Amino acid sequence: MALKITSLKDLAGHGFDTVIDVRSPSEHAEDHIPGAVNLPVLDDEERARVGTIYTRISPFTARKVGAALVARNAARHLEGPLADKPGGWRPLVYCWRGGQRSNSFATILAQVGWRVEVIEGGYRSYRRLVAEAMHERPLPHRLILLDGNTGTAKTELLALAARRGVQVVDLEGLARHRGSLFGAVSAPQPSQKAFEGALAHAFEALDPARPVLVEAESSKIGNLLVPPSLWEAMKRAPRIRIDAPLAERAAYLTRAYSDIVADGERLHRVIVALTPFHGREQVAQWLKMAERGEMRALAADLMARHYDPRYAKWRGRAKATVLAELQADSLSPAALEAVAERLAEAVGRAEAAENLPESGAGRNI
């Protein structure tokens, strides 16, 4: 039996014990239905081999070779990761388009006695839903952007606001990148498709009648593009702005970016990458500060000379509504808790309003 999914909510409440992606490891690595385990019936080399036979010899020969490989791999899965599954286990299986790979594996599982189903249309049906949500339809959620210069602890404040009941989507967390030249983290970024899928599921889980707080970002986070539906909503969204003294921001950055501070070679590479913007002489000064371990002074100078002017220029073009400006005299953990309380209150006032404004003056808090 094939399960037809018509919305991402169908996947969220599918009711099966395990979702199995039988595509090749590279297909699964690029993107997959969240939570799916990869039990390939053809690995990458085998898939390429069957495809070559299909085009160069005959479809019949390809199907015969493919069937033997699928049976062999299915036996390995039955004796390995599926060996302890009980009789009442219910798996949901998919391949690229709900064709031979998923149906062949599902037939074998059904013969064992498990109540197995396949996803009609396979991965392509899921990807179509993601593309509709992130590329084709307007985002139904009302967004509020959390704005502030580099080092104002915006990502940490998002998490603190979420603990206070605010609807939040952490774009940088889903992108696995902190959104600047210094923003790369140890884990590699997901593929563009996987990023869009994560975003679609994150928004699907939220109430569109309530505002959603996201960090103000550019249209690109590391190597990933913010998909069109979300980007259009972000361009129209009002903001809550965080302000903090430069010294506090510099101290916060040295804590938040401790991984880069501890990696001299990586820090050197990133600073050198600023040469086209500031010239060799300025970059040489920053490199000397790094060599001497003057990390707070380096962070402050980078913000004053590089990041703050670019933020100011970008804001000048944005002409966005500012719902509130929150002053943070300190960015210590205790102080951030207090700022998060005021942030949650500001979002609550916006939620109480019938409509979030698209233009107008903000207020200081």
Residue with tokens 């690229």: 96
The Cα 223–Cα 132 span in angstroms is: 22
pLDDT confidence bin for 182, thresholds 50/70/90: low
Where is pLDDT greater, at 100 or 230?
230
Exactly one of 70, 74, 95, 108 is catalytic; which is it?
Answer: 95
Quote the pLDDT of residue 14.
87
**Known catalytic membership, residue 260:** no
Q: Which amino acid is at 184?
A: A
pLDDT confidence bin for 261, thresholds 50/70/90: confident
- For 46-92, what is each residue's pLDDT tens digit? 999 999 999 999 999 999 999 999 999 999 999 999 999 999 999 99
Residues above pLDDT 90, as percent of the chain: 83
Average pLDDT of the segment spanning 196-215: 97
pLDDT confidence bin for 181, thresholds 50/70/90: low
Task: State the pairing for strand pair 220-221/143-148.
Answer: unpaired
pLDDT confidence bin for 294, thresholds 50/70/90: very high
Q: Give me the sign of the Cα torsion angle 75, 81, 83, 86.
A: negative
- For 121-148, what is each residue's pLDDT tens digit? 999 999 999 999 999 999 999 999 999 9
Q: Would you give the DSSP letter of residue 114? A: -
Q: Give me the sign of the Cα torsion angle 34, 35, 38, 41.
A: negative
**CB distance 92 to 19 below 8 Å:** yes
**What single string gives the DSSP state of each residue in 249-299?**
HHHHHHHHTHHHHT-HHHHHHHHHTTHHHHHHHHHHHHHHHHHTT-HHHHH
Average pLDDT of the segment spanning 158-177: 97
CA-based nearest residue to 33, from 93, 82, 85: 93
CATH numbers and ranges of domains, the chain: 2-132 (3.40.250.10), 139-352 (3.40.50)
89 Cβ partners below 8 Å, 6+ apart?
A: 17, 18, 114
